[in-house]
Chain A
Amino acid sequence: MVVYRMSRKKRLTKQCGTGPRTLADLSTGERCILDRLDLPEDAARRLMELGFLPGNEIVPGRRAPGGGPRVFQVDGSEVALRDDTAARLYIRRDPESDLVVLR
Chain B
Amino acid sequence: MSTCHGDAPRAGLLPNPTIPPPRAPGDRPIIVAIVGPPNSGKSTLFNRLTGLRQKVANFPGVTVEHRMGKAKLKEPHEVFLVDLPGVYSLNPRAEDEQVTHDVLKGERADFPKPDAVILILDSTNLGRNLVLAAPILSLELPTLVLLNMADDLKQRGGKVDVAALASELNCPVALISAAKGEGIDRIQQFLVGTAVRLNAPPPKIELPVLQDVPKCRQWAAKLGVRASYQAPAPPLWTRRLDAVFLNPVAGPLIFIAVVIGVFQTIFSWAQPLMNGLQSAILISGSWMSSVLPDSPLRSLLIDGVWSGVGSVIVFLPQILLLFLFIGILEDSGYLARAALIADRTMAKIGLQGKSFIPLLSAYACAVPAVMATRVIENKRDRIATIMIAPLMTCSARLPVYTLLIAAFVPNIPVIHGVLSLPATVMLGLYFLGFLAAVVIARLLKSTVLKSNRSSFVLEMPPYRWPTWQSLGLRLVDRGKIFLRRAGTVILAVAVVLWILAHVPLQHGATPPLEQSVAGLIGKTIEPAIKPLGFNWKIGIGLITSLFAREVIVGTLGTIYGIEGDEHSLGLQQAVHHDLSVAGAVALLVFFAFAMQCFSTLAVVKRETGGWKWPVFQFCYMLALAYSGSWIAFHITNIFLR
> What residues make up the interface of A, taking CB atoms closer than 8 Å to B?
42-43, 45-51, 53-55, 61-69, 71, 73, 75-82, 84-85
Within 8 A of A (CB), among B211-230: 213-214, 217
Q: Let me know if B269 is at the binding interface, CB within 8 A.
A: no
Q: How far is the CA of A65 from the CA of B253 in the complex (A)?
A: 10
User: How many chain B residues touch the partner (CB < 8 A)?
Assistant: 36
User: Closest CB-CB distance, B169 to chain A, in whole Å?
Assistant: 19
User: Closest CB-CB distance, B464 to chain A, in whole Å?
Assistant: 14
Is A78 a contact of B455 with CB atoms below 8 Å?
no
Interface flags for B248-274 (1: CB within 8 Å of A; 0: not) read: 110110000000000000000000000
Q: Please tell me which one of the listed residues B124, B213, B249, B252 contacts residue A49 in the complex, with CB atoms under 8 A apart.
A: B213
Is A80 a contact of B340 with CB atoms below 8 Å?
yes
B344 neighbours in A (Cβ, 8 Å):
64, 66-69
User: Closest CB-CB distance, B97 to chain A, in whole Å?
Assistant: 10
B217 neighbours in A (Cβ, 8 Å):
48, 53, 75
Q: How far is the CA of A81 from the CA of B561 in the complex (A)?
A: 57
A65 neighbours in B (Cβ, 8 Å):
246-249, 251-252, 341
Q: Number of contacts between A and B (CB, 8 Å)?
A: 105
A48 neighbours in B (Cβ, 8 Å):
213-214, 217
Interface flags for B351-372 (1: CB within 8 Å of A; 0: not) read: 0010000000000000000000
Is A49 a contact of B214 with CB atoms below 8 Å?
no
Is B343 a contact of A82 with CB atoms below 8 Å?
yes
A82 neighbours in B (Cβ, 8 Å):
343, 455-456
Q: Which of chain B's residues has its CB closest to A64's CB?
A: B340
Q: How far is the CA of A80 from the CA of B93 in the complex (A)?
A: 21
Q: How far is the CA of A32 from the CA of B466 in the complex (A)?
A: 35
Q: Let me know if B558 is at the binding interface, CB within 8 A.
A: no
Q: Which of chain B's residues has its CB closest to A77's CB?
A: B125
Q: How far is the CA of A66 from the CA of B247 in the complex (A)?
A: 9
Q: Which of chain B's residues has its CB closest to A84's CB?
A: B453
Q: A65-B251, A65-B252, A66-B248 are in contact. Are A71 and B340 (CB under 8 A)?
A: yes
Q: A62-B246, A65-B252, A66-B248 are in contact. Are A80 and B456 (CB under 8 A)?
A: yes
Is B246 a contact of A64 with CB atoms below 8 Å?
yes
Q: How far is the CA of A47 from the CA of B347 in the complex (A)?
A: 21
Is B128 a contact of A77 with CB atoms below 8 Å?
yes
Q: Which of chain B's residues has its CB closest to A49's CB?
A: B88
Q: Let me know if B91 is at the binding interface, CB within 8 A.
A: yes
User: Closest CB-CB distance, B212 to chain A, in whole Å?
Assistant: 10
Q: A65-B252, A66-B248 are in contact. Are A45 and B460 (CB under 8 A)?
A: no
List 13 extra interface pairs beyond A65-B341, A69-B458, A79-B458, CB under 8 A: A45-B213, A53-B213, A64-B246, A66-B345, A68-B340, A68-B353, A71-B246, A75-B127, A77-B128, A77-B459, A82-B455, A84-B453, A85-B456
Is A62 a contact of B242 with CB atoms below 8 Å?
yes
Q: Which of chain A's residues has its CB closest to B460's CB?
A: A78
